[in-house]
Amino acid sequence: MGRERFYRQQSTSKMSLSKREYEEYKGAVEKLVYKYVSRDRSSVVSAITHAVDSGLDKRKVEDKLMGYVDKSLAYKLAEKVRHIKILCKKSYIKVNMLL
């Protein structure tokens, strides 16, 4: 448990986003959700942004999303959200290319 907590804290501090990067990230998450989810869209966006901001790993983001969508879609969204955050941080590739 100690190792997992250390890894989560370390990866969270590395991946903190500037205000501009965060706005780009949130916009990309909204586009992603509107593309794949037909109901409770704002709740899904809130769940994703809160989970990722809290430093949760991909598996825990999936678990949060399973309250709103089925398992396969939760997996797909969690994977894409992870890539979006990485791309926003590196900011040398347009995030829209992933969508």
Give me the mean pLDDT over the 65-94 stretch.
Answer: 83
pLDDT at 6 over 50: no
- Domain residue limits, the chain: 2-97
Please give the pLDDT value at position 22: 84
Residues 6+ away with beta carbon under 8 Å from 9 = 55
- Residue 70: strand, helix, or coil: coil
For 24-47, what is the mean pLDDT?
91
What pLDDT does residue 97 have? 56
SS3 state of residue 51: helix
- Short-list 38, 41, 32, 34, CA closest to 95: 32
